[in-house]
Structure 1
Amino acid sequence: MEADPQMEGMTVTRRHAVMAFGLLILAGGLVGCGKSAGGSASQSERSIRFINADGTITDIPARPRRILSTSASVTGTLLAIDAPLIASASAANGQYFPQWAGVAKERGIKNIWPAGDVGIEAAIAVKPDLIVVSTGGADSALAQRAELQAIAPTIVVDYGSQSWQYLAIQLGKAAGLENEAAARIAAFERYVVDARGKIAVPAGKVNIISYNGSGTTNPIATANGAHGRLLAGLGFTVEDPDPAWHAASEARGDFVWAPYEMLPRLTAATTFLLRANDERVATFLSDPVLANLPSVRARQVQSLGTNSFRIDYYSATQIVDGIVKTFGK
């Protein structure tokens, strides 16, 4: 596909957000319905017909005031657009993700259940007027969708194959917070542009790995996934893993879940490790199977931060700050 000349001056992150919005308009994925034929309805009266990630439709009769997120991976984006979130599922360990846990505490968000332990009675008790469910992941409540729909309008989103900006646009439409979503995306874009001017990007390509060692899969971020696009926006060129390495049952756009034995085939000069501390980086550098990786030979292996696996506004900001600290001019 040829590049759109009107987007040549934008960074990759901005282009993705703009393209995402355009796709929603073209697809008719989100349609606002005013009650008055003579003009637009007020925010409190406005109804929305939301097309879910699986193609089904959810009618939202009025602007939500009490949102329940059943997916911790979606909660960060809801917080970022100042959605009226009242409760959220947590990670499997019963804790909120560290990158936004402080924000959730300040706003009094109820920790309703850990991932994988959906409680319908708990959902009823918080009296939501909109429930958000993810299509997949360990924190998905899709299996309880029918029961949740009996409580309140329930929308289904896919956080695994798109950026947090695209997700913010979708959630902003569903919650009547389009302006807030657009403002957050624009502010982050400015932040990325400013950071790009502060760093010296190393020569060659980079790869992004969730390093788990032998005996299991080691997800490698794709160039078109959220991590790849974020680093591209900062000026890096991301090495794309071979899709044939994917060992998971479902194809994904953000990661190739590669067997450990595939890692030595990577060729980038720099490696970024997801959710890795200094000890994890040292383990990667000393792994004898990976000794001939160009990034290992050059000792150019860096952590993207301990909260970097799931990209939302908060973790993305932490990643940008870490990049500036490591590669600052």
Structure 2
Amino acid sequence: MRLPAFYRWLLLVVGISISGISLAQDAGWPRQIQDSRGVHTLDHKPARIVSTSVTLTGSLLAIDAPVVASGATTPNNRFADDQGFMRQWSDVAKARHVARLYIGEPNAETVAAQMPDLILISATGGDSALALYDQLSAIAPTLVINYDDKSWQSLLTQLGEITGQEKQAAARIAEFETQLTTVKQRIALPPQPVSALVYTPAAHSANLWTPESAQGKLLTQLGFTLATLPRGLQTSKSQGKRHDIIQLGGENLAAGLNGESLFLFAGDNKDVAALYANPLLAHLPAVQNKRVYALGTETFRLDYYSATLLLKPACRPVLALSESYPTDQTDLVSRINAPSSASIANRRRLAKTT
């Protein structure tokens, strides 16, 4: 017996609806995300994400998350472009037309104007908009993200789960791990342990990266050993909450920089020269033996882009590295790239025979 046309149409509509629900469930939406404020339900995959933290934005861009706007830092300096976006991902942000929300001080009205369906806040740091949580959470689902206690890879994985970009996050991490393996096979480690820091010459102070920081974890992945602070050293942590840096100043500066080698994140050769010129640090073994190395100005905010930039020169084809670690260069990356004397000899021999 044939069903009337109306009933056939009704069954078709119901079937399509059930299929749609099933597909949505298979895709993982809605999904629940937990942060320090509790459990949040995201009904659908975000399509308009606002990142109030310039630190988080780079990782979101790396996994192709739909970021429509971002907080910014002070523009037009060696770290940031004319928008106040980090230079390592500045071109990506411009290509994707990411709007600048504000510089420094968070503004809820500016966030609301972007009509976001997801807002991300950093839990700590100078780019945190945590004070506006109540206002922002009234606009759209708002998540608080800790980036000061994990590697950039762990942060990427977390953001991938939040945004539904898990595959992209895994692919980026896999790309980096391949490069990391290559570098570890070629790199010649300087005397250990090392101190990793951001040096501020004008204030004669430094922020020391801890083993919990993304910078510290990257060095550990490369095979370096981080120096342990002397017992009883009086230090402070930024804002009393951060896990990634320890502030050093005054007499504690020299005592805290007790590594056999010093690695300057967010620094260049000018910062190395300034550290060498500080008379209070002249007695340090790393200074006396010229083992202070700049890792580039883009490494202050460590993410997929800056971490890859740190390794990229080391991935150029080289035949070998010198077994004796040179001390007359301040750029670690160029040193990783430098061929050994045996390599040079091989190249000369090949040149003669061709």
TM beyond 0.5? yes
Q: CA deviation at 1:40?
A: 6.7
Q: CA deviation at 1:252?
A: 3.3
1:235 aligns with 2:223: yes
Q: CA deviation at 1:204?
A: 2.3
Q: CA deviation at 1:119?
A: 2.5
Does the CA-based 8 Å contact 1:222-1:239 persist in structure 2? no
CA distance in structure 2 between the partners assigned to 1:230 and 1:236 by the alignment: 9
Give the aligned residue type for 2:45: R
CA distance in structure 2 between the partners assigned to 1:255 and 1:119 by the alignment: 27
Aligned to 1:68: 50
Aligned to 2:285, which of 294, 306, 310?
Answer: 294
Of the two, which has the highest radius of gyration? 2
Does the CA-based 8 Å contact 1:245-1:259 persist in structure 2? no
CA distance in structure 2 between the partners assigned to 1:92 and 1:236 by the alignment: 32
Aligned to 1:205: 193
Give the aligned residue type for 1:261: E
Q: CA deviation at 1:269?
A: 1.9
Residues 327/103 of structure 1: CA separation in 2 closer, same or farther (3 Å cut): same
Identity of aligned residues (%): 35
CA RMSD of aligned residues (A): 2.3
CA distance in structure 2 between the partners assigned to 1:196 and 1:139 by the alignment: 33
1:314 aligns with 2:305: yes
CA distance in structure 1 between the partners assigned to 2:93 and 2:295 by the alignment: 23
Give the aligned residue type for 2:32: R
Does the CA-based 8 Å contact 1:81-1:172 persist in structure 2? yes
Aligned to 1:284: 275
Q: CA deviation at 1:215?
A: 5.0
1:256 aligns with 2:246: yes
* Mapping for residues 89-104 of structure 1, pairs under 5 Å: 89-93=71-75, 95-104=84-93
Q: SS in structure 2 opposite 1:112?
A: strand
Does the CA-based 8 Å contact 2:295-2:333 persist in structure 1? no
CA distance in structure 2 between the partners assigned to 1:217 and 1:284 by the alignment: 10
Does the CA-based 8 Å contact 2:64-2:168 persist in structure 1? yes
Structure 2 segments unaligned to the other structure (5+ residues): 1-18, 76-82, 314-331, 340-354
Structure 1 segments unaligned to the other structure (5+ residues): 1-34
* Mapping for residues 131-210 of structure 1, pairs under 5 Å: 131-210=119-198
Give the aligned residue type for 1:156: V
Give the aligned residue type for 2:46: P
CA distance in structure 1 between the partners assigned to 2:241 and 2:176 by the alignment: 29
1:126 aligns with 2:108: no
Aligned to 1:105: 94
Superposition TM-score, scaled by structure 1 size:
0.82
CA distance in structure 2 between the partners assigned to 1:97 and 1:326 by the alignment: 25
Q: SS in structure 2 opposite 1:162?
A: coil
Aligned to 1:48, which of 21, 25, 31?
Answer: 31
User: How many residue pairs are counted as aligned between the two chains?
Assistant: 292
Q: CA deviation at 1:37?
A: 9.3
Q: CA deviation at 1:97?
A: 0.9
Does the CA-based 8 Å contact 1:209-1:218 persist in structure 2? yes
1:84 aligns with 2:66: yes
Residues 242/308 of structure 1: CA separation in 2 closer, same or farther (3 Å cut): farther
Give the aligned residue type for 2:299: S
Residues 216/247 of structure 1: CA separation in 2 closer, same or farther (3 Å cut): farther
Give the aligned residue type for 2:122: S
